[in-house]
Amino acid sequence: MISDRDCDLRLELSGWQFRQLVDLAMEHIVAHIDSLPEQHAWNSDGAADLARSVIEPLPTDGSDAADIFQKFFGRYLATTYNTASPGYMAFVPGGGLPQSAVADLIAGVINRYVGVWIAAPALAQIETTVIRWFCDIVGYPKQGGGFLTTGGSLANWSGLVTARRCRLPDDFQSGLLYTSNQAHYSVQKAAMLAGFPTKNVCEIAVDSQFRVRVDLLAEQIAADRALGRTPFAIVGHAGTVNTGAVDALDALADLADQEGLWLHVDAAYGGFFMLTERGQRLMKGIERADSIALDPHKGLFLPFGNGCLLVRNLDHLKQAHSLTGEYMPPMQDEPDFVDFCQISPELSRDFRGLRTWLPIKMHGIEPFRNNLNEKLDLTRWAVEQLRSINNEIDDELEIVAEPQLSIVAFRLLRQGLDEPQLTRLNEDLREKINRNRRVYLTPTILDGRYVIRICVIQFRTHLARMKECLQEIRKAIGKVS
């Protein structure tokens, strides 16, 4: 016979025990936050050995939490790209507001279900409210809507699946989509996972500022139609990952209208610059897109795991996703209530809304706007400095991509070197810039040219660190042979 005496209660922490645990973790967290400015911006030393040291068989017995945290913070964390460091200007950073981590702690402890509105009405509404705020930021009408994903890749994927479901028959294999040759690879991956043959993604050339050539795009669509093919969607960019280029979104929207195509805008990097006037000018027309991918873990500085898909008309998401099962509770008809399981691929999932809602409620949107404006200014400052280096050196520092938002791409040119030699020169330069670990910059390839990017969108990066970055660049240029 089963009895209460035999049950194992070790998993059930009392409130007091939970506090002990959080306090233990908090000691490390506080030290971590306070030492961020001194921490390395990256470290990959001994990566493989360290990673292998983590492998172990399923433990039968537990270990002391204090020891676990000690090892985690002391050893595991030290060998990483430090995406929370103010010197991290690689890829597309965001920083990770720790305020959001408090939201995650709460969300995890209460463990409420937000996939279905009736299960936690006010909590689901918190998430819907966040979506409404995002719709307002990009200029979507009241019919707009969306849901939070774990990142931009899944937002792009869901956007393309929605476009496919709304614009193509069940037999959709002939559908063609168009994007620029600057698309993030997640666009190609999204198309692939949405079921399209890879050849159905047509990459169109860009102009000197890395914006899609709308004239060439129109020609390609016409040529494909003439061959009896089925164009159905365009993926535009509000900030490419390589250079932050913003396509002529109004022109893309005109073309999409004319051709009856779905317009999806990948705004994973650039979208939240819509909070700034400069961003609004640049991204004019984004509000005409049928769907938009955003990444709050970039432009709103949230921790990783925060993406978003918005649609101009929520009915499209319903049309693409609505299914239900006999075991499900009733769904909502009220236009201002949303059952997330009805408009997105997931059913059970974490309570994502709280992570965004809490920091915005606490601070209001102004600090976010101010930080984004500051990053635009910092990038411009960095470009001026890069240019001025040319007065100090024999080689030439070429700005390969002027910043449209907060990314600049540059490289060192040296007379007499061919392209492979220039690549090696700039690989060496980048290695020397990063060597002191005060900053971390990553490269990309533009028209076959190896370039070094500075991407400033992490909230902790301010002028002092940018000055250090320029100093590292100057010193490194002095040392490359």
Which residues are at the interface with ligand PLP (CB under 6 A)?
92, 151-153, 184, 186, 240-241, 266, 268-269, 295, 307
Distance CA 412, CA 480 (A): 10
Name the residue nearer to ligand PLP (CB basis): 285 or 307. 307
Secondary element (H or E) of residue 148: strand 145-149
89 or 241: CB nearest ligand PLP: 241
Distance CA(318)–CA(150), nearest Å, equals 20
Question: 3-state DSSP call for residue 265?
Answer: strand
Q: Which amino acid is at 163?
A: A
Q: Which residue, 180 or 186, is less far from ligand PLP as judged by CB?
A: 186
Residue 371: CB minimum distance to ligand PLP, A: 18
First to last CA, the chain: 80
Task: List, in sequence order, every beta strand (DSSP E) within 181-299.
Answer: 201-204, 230-237, 262-267, 291-294
Residue 343's closest CA among 115, 150, 112?
115
Length of the chain: 481
Q: Can you tell me the distance from the alpha carbon of 415 to that of 409, in angstroms, rounded to the nearest whole number? A: 20
Q: Which of 307, 280, 305, 277 lies closest to 292, judged by CA?
A: 307
Q: How far is the CB of 156 from ligand PLP (least distance, A)?
A: 6
Smallest gap from Cβ 268 to ligand PLP, in A, equals 4
CB of 34 to ligand PLP, least distance (A): 28
For the bound state, the minimum distance from the C-beta of residue 266 to ligand PLP, rounded and expressed in Å, comes to 5
Q: Rounded to the nearest whole angstrom, what is the least distance from the CB of residue 327 to ligand PLP in the complex? A: 32
Is the CB of 128 or the CB of 406 nearer to ligand PLP? Answer: 406
Residue 297 or 438: the one with the smaller Cβ distance to ligand PLP is 297
Nearest-approach distance from CB 42 to ligand PLP, in angstroms? 18
Closest distance of CB 342 from ligand PLP, Å: 24
Q: Pick the closer one to ligand PLP by CB: 184 or 211.
A: 184
Cα–Cα distance, 33 to 303 (Å, whole number)? 14
Cβ(109)–Cβ(102) below 8 Å: no
Q: Which of 261, 257, 252, 263 is nearest to 175 (CA)?
A: 261
Least distance between ligand PLP and beta carbon 99 (Å): 20
**Whole-angstrom distance, CA of residue 237 vs CA of residue 349:** 29
30, burial (CB in 10 Å: exposed 0-12, middle 13-18, buried 19+): exposed
- For residues 6 and 150, what is the distance between their CA atoms, to the nearest angstrom? 40
Smallest distance from ligand PLP to CB 154, Å: 7
Write phi, then psi, for 398 (nearest 5 degrees): -100, 125
Q: CB-wise, 117 or 152, nearer to ligand PLP? A: 152
Give the nearer residue to ligand PLP in terms of CB position, either 16 or 185. Answer: 185
Q: How far is the CB of 94 from ligand PLP (least distance, A)?
A: 9
- Residue pair 271/294 in contact (Cβ under 8 Å)? The answer is yes
Query: What number of other Cβ atoms are within 10 A of residue 460's Cβ?
Result: 18
Residue 314 CA, chain-centre distance (Å), reads 22
Nearer to ligand PLP, 268 or 446 (CB): 268
φ/ψ region of 285 (left if φ > 0, alpha if ψ in -120 to 50, else beta) reads left
Among residues 123 and 151, whose Cβ is nearest to ligand PLP? 151
Please report how close the Cβ of residue 304 comes to ligand PLP at its closest, in angstroms.
Answer: 8
- CB-nearer residue toward ligand PLP: 282 or 470: 282
Residue nearest to ligand PLP (CB): 152
346 vs 222: CA distance, rounded Å? 37
- Residue number with CB closer to ligand PLP (103 or 241): 241
Amino acid at 439: V
| 130: nearest Cα among 461, 348, 368 | 368
